[in-house]
Amino acid sequence: MSDASFIGQVNEAGNAGLDAAYGQGLTGSREARPADYFALLKPRVMSLVVFTGLVGMVLAPGSLHPVLAITALLCIAIGAGASGAINMWYDADIDAVMSRTQSRPIPQGRITKDEALGFGCVLSVGSVLVMGLGVNWVAAAILALTIGFYVFIYTMWLKRRTPQNIVIGGAAGAFPPMIGWAAVTGDLSLLPLLLFAIIFMWTPPHFWALALYRSDDYARAGVPMLPVVAGERETRRQILLYSLLLVPITLSPWALGLAGPLYGGATAVLGAIFLGIAFRIWRATDYKSAKYMFGYSILYLFLLFALLLAERGLGWGA
């Protein structure tokens, strides 16, 4: 069976569930608390985005006035959050049937879809304008690209159509270090592109590890994630392949003389652990190592960027 026809069946099966769930919690809006609006911004995703943006900013040559640096970080956070709110507006039907997302404000009926869309649009436009007027227009343009990529390319185009959704869509999460860098320099160079490549290649093993043990959820919602469309075996193989590609890329800043020996050494060890877990996922038939990979991959990315930050702070960076 071709991928396309299989995806069609997955979507059809998912649509029946979506139609039933849709409208059950989506029509009435009880009085929302401020925390509900904050939840629309996907704060956990936002925190990693802000951190990687901060690292891009610190690594960039030159300096930025602290007020403008805080402004840039705020714009990155709000812009990323705003695209999350628009994503929740568009995916309200999917969120209502997936156990991982059922407690979000729209499926719970605490915020209406229209409110979420308005909230997301105002914050998107506002964050880009403030970044452009306050910091510079190159950073603002990349922020706009990030928001547009997440909303139009990932959410609206790829997510419900192809198992490559998070591969291509992963670019949206990889832009923040470039925004941080551009906020300081007004342009881009090799290091921010490498940071982009690291997050881009990290995204597939991270999300496929989650999708492995949540594939029932995705199938019910009609989202053609790789385990749903191509099966567990192929997903485990792809996680290993992408991990094998990821580790050399994480070492490239050191190999090219753009990071110091602390980063190079620690990244080699952390990468070996990453590969070890990926290999265990490939060999296993249960979900234990996949669950472990999901948690470790977040720590892994955080540590890689923290190492770059530490090297710059200690003056050890290249």
Residues lying near another protein in the complex (CB under 8 A): 30-34, 37, 64-65, 67-68, 71, 74, 130, 133-134
**CB 54 → another protein: shortest distance, Å?**
18
**CB 81 → another protein: shortest distance, Å?**
13
**CB 129 → another protein: shortest distance, Å?**
11
Sequence length of the chain is 318
For another protein, the closer CB: 69 or 147 = 69
**CB 118 → another protein: shortest distance, Å?**
14
For another protein, the closer CB: 26 or 171 = 26
For another protein, the closer CB: 72 or 151 = 72
**CB 79 → another protein: shortest distance, Å?**
15
For another protein, the closer CB: 34 or 61 = 34
CB 54 within 8 A of CB 73: yes
For another protein, the closer CB: 183 or 209 = 183
**CB 236 → another protein: shortest distance, Å?**
45
For another protein, the closer CB: 11 or 29 = 29
